[in-house]
């Protein structure tokens, strides 16, 4: 059943577990995500970026998610706009039937971020839709970073408190050292958990971790074995994810892991069966691989067996 984002995340916040927010760009990814949630008995957040909406058309995004949520009526699912860049973009998603939107104005100065977020919150709440915002800049931090440099890029707990109080945003993505894609850390992975705990204490709402793909060994190996090049990229280790959840993260965004798992299977199929041109024979192993990644992740996050 399609529900608003805060319905899923407030429960996770109260009971202290994480819910995966999985990106999709096609039927195959969406099938894998729903089938995994069904298998793991987990609540679900599916998310589409502006790029995914452009690729599929917003009407198809909605109809695919409605079809899948009718197929699995026992799974509470929120449809979330990932990284909305403007009020108009968020309004379009709200009007189309998304149940959660992110306004990402984190590259603006604090005051402008707050004003734009508040504008989106006022509109979205009038339509019973939840809102996520972001504070700080998403980028990896290194061991030798100075305190000043850290304060310049990562979330400021004082600001987070004021931001949530004034904007009434439903959940917040605080920058604590993760970044998007496969290339998150130059050296050893490092996140600022102290800062995270402080933000949770001051805001007391669900927090969101972006750039949280882990690139587990099985995914890495399948990608490399089929000729993929990760260029030394590494993800956020599972124990960092569980530590983040202990520190107050309840929504964990996962995209890169799913892409790597899917593409490795398509590539393997192509290499091993040069005469094959039945699309389903390429996509089915991809779906199975993505499902396995998601089921494992739901167990790590603690959302498995919550429905």
Q: Which residues bind Zn ion (CB under 5 A)?
A: 210
Output the residue with the shortest Cβ distance to Zn ion.
210
Tell me whether residue 210 or residue 268 sits nearer to Zn ion (CB atom).
210
We find the least distance from the C-beta atom of residue 83 to Zn ion, in angstroms, to be 6
From start to end of 136-210, where are the E strands? 171-174, 207-209
Query: Helices then strands (H, E): number in the chain?
Result: 13, 8
For 229-241, b/e burial (b = at least 16 CB within 10 A) is: eeeebbbbeeebb
Alpha-carbon distance 137 to 114, whole Å?
Answer: 15
Tell me whether residue 69 or residue 250 sits nearer to Zn ion (CB atom).
250
Tell me whether residue 72 or residue 183 sits nearer to Zn ion (CB atom).
183
Question: Any catalytic annotation for residue 82?
Answer: yes
From start to end of the chain, where are the E strands? 19-23, 44-49, 77-84, 100-103, 130-135, 171-174, 207-209, 249-254
Which entry of 38, 59, 82, 95 is annotated as an active-site residue?
82
Reduce the DSSP state of residue 193 to 3 states and report it.
helix
We find the least distance from the C-beta atom of residue 238 to Zn ion, in angstroms, to be 19
We find the least distance from the C-beta atom of residue 78 to Zn ion, in angstroms, to be 16
We find the least distance from the C-beta atom of residue 302 to Zn ion, in angstroms, to be 21
We find the least distance from the C-beta atom of residue 2 to Zn ion, in angstroms, to be 22
| Tokens found for residue 204 | 């007391």
Give the max Cα distance, the chain: 61
Tell me whether residue 50 or residue 296 sits nearer to Zn ion (CB atom).
50
Alpha-carbon distance 30 to 69, whole Å?
Answer: 10
Alpha-carbon distance 3 to 132, whole Å?
Answer: 15
Tell me whether residue 69 or residue 253 sits nearer to Zn ion (CB atom).
253
Do 242 and 300 meet the contact criterion of CB atoms below 8 Å apart?
A: yes
Task: Supply the residues annotated as catalytic.
Answer: 82
């Amino acid at each position: 059943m399609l529900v608003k984002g805060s319905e899923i995340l407030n429960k996770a916040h109260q009971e202290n577990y994480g819910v995966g927010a999985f990106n999709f760009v096609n039927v195959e990814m969406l099938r894998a995500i729903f089938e995994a949630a069904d298998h793991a008995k987990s609540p679900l957040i599916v998310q589409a970026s502006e790029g995914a909406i452009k690729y599929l058309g917003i009407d198809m995004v909605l109809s695919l998610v409605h079809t899948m949520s009718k197929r699995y009526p026992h799974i509470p699912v929120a449809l979330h706009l990932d990284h909305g860049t403007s009020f108009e973009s968020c309004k379009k998603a709200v009007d189309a039937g998304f149940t959660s939107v992110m306004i990402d104005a984190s590259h603006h100065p604090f005051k402008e971020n707050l004003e734009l977020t508040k504008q989106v919150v006022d509109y979205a709440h009038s339509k019973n839709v939840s809102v996520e915002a972001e504070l700080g800049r998403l980028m990896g931090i290194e061991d030798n970073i100075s305190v000043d440099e850290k304060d310049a890029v990562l979330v400021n707990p004082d600001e987070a408190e004021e931001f949530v109080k004034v904007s009434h945003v439903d959940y917040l993505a605080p920058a604590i050292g993760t970044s998007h894609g496969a290339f998150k850390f130059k050296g050893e992975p490092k996140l600022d958990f102290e800062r995270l705990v402080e933000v949770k204490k001051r805001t007391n709402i669900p927090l969101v971790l972006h750039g949280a793909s882990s690139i587990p060994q099985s995914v890495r190996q399948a990608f490399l074995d089929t000729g993929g090049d990760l260029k030394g990229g590494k993800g956020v280790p599972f124990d960092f994810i569980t530590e983040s959840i202990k520190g107050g993260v309840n929504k964990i965004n996962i995209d890169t892991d799913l892409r790597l798992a899917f593409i490795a299977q398509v590539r393997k199929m192509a290499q091993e069966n040069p005469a094959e041109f039945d699309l389903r024979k390429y996509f089915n192993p991809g779906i199975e691989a993505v499902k396995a990644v998601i089921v494992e992740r739901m167990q790590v996050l603690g959302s498995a067996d919550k429905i």
